[in-house]
Structure 1
């Protein structure tokens, strides 16, 4: 995500915009806006907080082999 958009999200949050409105204005998913704002509040850094995604089941090399076989 461009640094300018991160700054815009933080600035809108400081001005009292709701996270839902920030997501609508920026065109980003609500979860993304939430993570950015939470990371800024908790850590003081302007970056996207870590995702809570499941770890990969296959490596990139395995993915390439699978795609080649299909």
Structure 2
């Protein structure tokens, strides 16, 4: 059973029992990703590491031509 089928089953069951319907799959995905990002930034700051630019700095190091 995939997520959509489970959602449809839960919606049907909630309607039968007179309960509120559950949120649709994917409704809170963006909020979850933002909270994960914020938590990781917070942990980096608390550890004394820079909170931004890790990926960009790594790409710059990899893509920068070596001075010979």
Could you tell me the TM-score, scaled by structure 1's length?
A: 0.33
Relative contact order, higher structure (CA 8 A, sep 6+):
1
